[in-house]
Amino acid sequence: MPDSTTITADEFCRFAISVFQCAGLPAEQAQQAVAPLVWASLRGVDTHGIRNFKPYYVDGLIAGRIASTAACEIEYETPLSARANGADGLGLSAAGWGMRLAIDKAETSGIGLISMRNSNHLGAAGYFSQLAVEQDMIGLCLSGHLYGEGNATGMPPVFGLQPMFGTNPLSVAIPCGDEPTYVLDMSTSVVPVNRVEMMQEQGQSIPLGWCLDAAGRPTSDPGQAAIFLPLGGTRELGAHKGFGLAMLVEVLTALLSNGWAPATDSTPADAPGVYHQERIAHFFGAIRIDLFRAAGEFRQAMDAMIGSLHRAQPAPGHERIFVPGEIEHDTQRIRSRQGIPLSHKEVQDLRWLSKRYDLPLTFSHS
Amino acid sequence: MPDSTTITADEFCRFAISVFQCAGLPAEQAQQAVAPLVWASLRGVDTHGIRNFKPYYVDGLIAGRIASTAACEIEYETPLSARANGADGLGLSAAGWGMRLAIDKAETSGIGLISMRNSNHLGAAGYFSQLAVEQDMIGLCLSGHLYGEGNATGMPPVFGLQPMFGTNPLSVAIPCGDEPTYVLDMSTSVVPVNRVEMMQEQGQSIPLGWCLDAAGRPTSDPGQAAIFLPLGGTRELGAHKGFGLAMLVEVLTALLSNGWAPATDSTPADAPGVYHQERIAHFFGAIRIDLFRAAGEFRQAMDAMIGSLHRAQPAPGHERIFVPGEIEHDTQRIRSRQGIPLSHKEVQDLRWLSKRYDLPLTFSHS
């Protein structure tokens, strides 16, 4: 009965850490890499959780597309900032390293901003930004990719049809008091690529307004989706804003880190050559609340703002208002008790890995 | 022939500085306050330029809604940050003060972040963020308002109908090389309030998807627009992102500055009272590029990114791709030569002010 199969967070972590180690990852990195996946799955962000474990990460390590023994390096730093190199490794663990560096710098200096090149898909950006919240900091995590000559899928510029960007996500986490942490975690396109992939796996159609096919026609067939519209959808409804935000993400991730760089080092300075960006780049930020005011007072003001929004009149058909991170927080409480529901494909993937590496794996059935 | 009336930037500045002084503003503040207005009008951002001069600012000063002799004050500061008080004054000049403070701090410390409460409408946020660019910095300017108990017009939360926020704009400016400065300047709603006001003045209808009427029905009548939808429009197309960004703007502007505060100071800490925000709050940021890399190299990489986007295939019906700030830059070149075209209402407003204060005013006619 694959439809009602679940796995506990603990069991997934134990299993996935072993799998990552079998795929060549050092123990500490394996542990770091599993944390954002189980966080996403517990919170109901199924597009960025267990679903991607095999196809995005383990398969990448096996095929050598992701370097398994990569160690992140600082290429330049100040007390407030660093430019780092992800060394072609797993984004899931590189992002943990980068975010901790941002938090460490903020602890010492008030603010820490890290721009990292040469990395790979990092999972749910919100996981990394929320790491700062416990330290009474605002956390930021962005991830960007510019395809210099275009790509088969991705986000086009406004007025354009050629996919030029990834769906360049940005996330911000802000400490609250009794209310759940504010976590905004959004692609700068209408939807991220993996949302459409997941709906295709589930045999669902996608709403018009998310994507165009390769010829630029609106499509509700996830299999035909190639052009991921910028947030706003059309120029009239604000697509220039989604596109502008995607460029901003690109600047902080790939341009500050030198991930978007001339193809050769020998290009003379006055004749910039062809630039390209081979891998995904990231940006991590941590800003101490007490640069402005006492964190306790600030957390109370956050609760009061959320309380005020909760009292706003809901639209017909809706019982209440939710703020960013709240639905996910509720789901996390349920799934921590009841386990993480798995799709047929997720069960298949995990079984395949269990067999390949001869590792025990226990599902639950609800 | 009011339809073909124009005014030169110099003539508007001369006239408007005198008007602001007649309305009680000190000379230096008057000069500062005119700069963002003429900048917006020269760049074709007519929603945020001369159009608002009389109704938003001069009328506000005359009626005493805006304090004419306000002096901004620092309430708390570190080498990287400050919490400031706009003293109920003109946002146009307070924002210039705040942005210069951010730039000064960044010059000394690498980064400058300023959160300011008790201010008023600041005009085009992009004007202030672009002030940082000449110093090889990334500039930020945000402006936020939360109506604690709701408001007749504004942005509702997603799943909600009650306007709770202003259209909370955010702007970012980034230095380029030969290409025009990247200036993203966007409300976090689909459109800002003054866009709809302007279309009403011009007798135009508004596209469906921008606003709802007070009863929550889609409307194309700008006179009925009350609910300004968050960027994304509907939940399915990403309105939770626009709403999430509006909250982020609010946090950086009003929560860090203590502009969103308990109604009385005597509220015990463990029982937060009713919070409210009387006036608009702002946030200004300046981040030195050389925290990461040499500014010259970075500017070249920006040009290369924009060049790459310009080479992307345009959509049918479009000749080329534009990046944020580019159309405005082109308009600025034209209007610097040909003057700023004025609407009938703008001509009327300026004539009224010329008569009231007995100040000479010269229009051109094209």
**Which one is the CATH code of A2-261+276-309+325-349: 3.30.420.40, 3.90.950.10, 1.10.510.10, 3.30.1370.60?**
3.30.1370.60
Which CATH superfamily does the domain covering B191-228 fall into?
Answer: Hypothetical oxidoreductase yiak; domain 3 (3.30.60.50)
Q: In angstroms, how far is CA B127 from the centroid of its own chain?
A: 8
Quick one: tokens of A58? 């383990």
Residue A61 pLDDT > 80? yes
Residues from chain A contacting residue B110 (CB–CB below 8 Å):
78, 80-81
- B2-190+229-262+274-310+323-345: CATH topology is Ribosomal Protein S8; Chain: A, domain 1 (3.30.1370)
A262: enclosing H helix or E strand: strand A261-262
**Mean of pLDDT over chain B:** 95
One-letter identity of residue A209: G
DSSP 8-state secondary structure symbol assigned to residue A134: G
Whole-number pLDDT of residue A365: 79
Decide: pTM greater than 0.95: yes
Residues from chain A contacting residue B232 (CB–CB below 8 Å):
190, 231-232, 238
A346: enclosing H helix or E strand: helix A344-356
Residue A270 pLDDT > 50? no
Residues from chain B contacting residue A141 (CB–CB below 8 Å):
none
The interface pTM score, or ipTM, of the predicted complex is 0.96
A347: enclosing H helix or E strand: helix A344-356
Per the CB < 8 A criterion, the answer to whether B152 and B299 are in contact is: no
Tell me the β-bridge partners of A140.
A172, A285
Neighbours of A353 (CB within 10 A): 21
Residue contact A160–B318, C-beta within 8 A: yes
Residue A3 pLDDT > 60? no
Q: Is the CB of residue A218 less than 8 Å away from at least one CB of chain B?
A: no
Of B78, B190, B315, the CB nearest to A216: B315
pLDDT digits (tens, 9 = 90+) for A123-160: 999 999 999 999 999 999 999 999 999 999 999 999 99
Q: How confident is the model at residue A70 (pLDDT cuts 50, 70, 90)?
A: confident
Quick one: tokens of A338? 């009841």
Mean per-residue pLDDT, A90-111: 98
Residue contact A191–B292, C-beta within 8 A: no
A242: enclosing H helix or E strand: helix A239-250
B contact test, residue of A199, A300, A309 with most B CBs within 10 A: A309
Residues from chain B contacting residue A308 (CB–CB below 8 Å):
146, 148-149, 164, 275
pLDDT digits (tens, 9 = 90+) for A23-57: 999 999 999 999 999 999 999 999 999 999 999 99
Per the CB < 8 A criterion, the answer to whether B180 and B284 are in contact is: no
Per the CB < 8 A criterion, the answer to whether A165 and A250 are in contact is: yes
A259 CB-near residues (< 8 Å, 6+ apart): A116, A117, A118, A253, A277, A278, A279, A281
3-state secondary structure of A339: coil
B16 CB-near residues (< 8 Å, 6+ apart): B30, B34, B37, B38, B53
DSSP for B163-184, written as a single string = --B----EEEEE--SSSPPEEE
Minimal C-alpha gap between A259 and chain B (Å): 10
Neighbours of A9 (CB within 10 A): 17
Residue contact A78–B291, C-beta within 8 A: yes
Q: Which of residues 293-332 of A touch B (CB under 8 A)?
A: 293, 297-298, 300-305, 308-309, 311-316, 318, 320-324
B contact test, residue of A196, A237, A252, A277 with most B CBs within 10 A: A237
Of B159, B242, B269, the CB nearest to A315: B159
Whole-number pLDDT of residue A272: 52
Per the CB < 8 A criterion, the answer to whether A232 and A249 are in contact is: no
Q: Is the CB of residue B287 less than 8 Å away from at least one CB of chain A?
A: yes
Give the residue carrying structure tokens 């230095």. B175
Residue contact A236–B207, C-beta within 8 A: yes
pLDDT digits (tens, 9 = 90+) for A293-328: 999 999 999 999 999 999 999 999 999 999 999 999
Burial of B177 (0-12, 13-18, 19+ CB in 10 A): middle
Of B150, B231, B308, the CB nearest to A231: B231
Residues of chain B with CATH 3.30.60.50: 191-228
Residue contact A76–B186, C-beta within 8 A: no
pLDDT along chain B (366 residues), means of 10: 81 98 96 98 97 97 93 97 98 98 98 98 98 98 97 96 97 98 98 96 96 97 98 97 98 98 66 84 98 98 98 94 97 97 96 98 87
Q: Is the CB of residue A207 less than 8 Å away from at least one CB of chain B?
A: yes
Phi then psi for residue B275, to 5 deg, are -90, 155
One-letter identity of residue B31: Q
Residue A63 pLDDT > 70? yes
Whole-number pLDDT of residue A150: 95
Q: Is the CB of residue A264 less than 8 Å away from at least one CB of chain B?
A: no
**Mean of pLDDT over chain A:** 95
Whole-number pLDDT of residue A2: 43
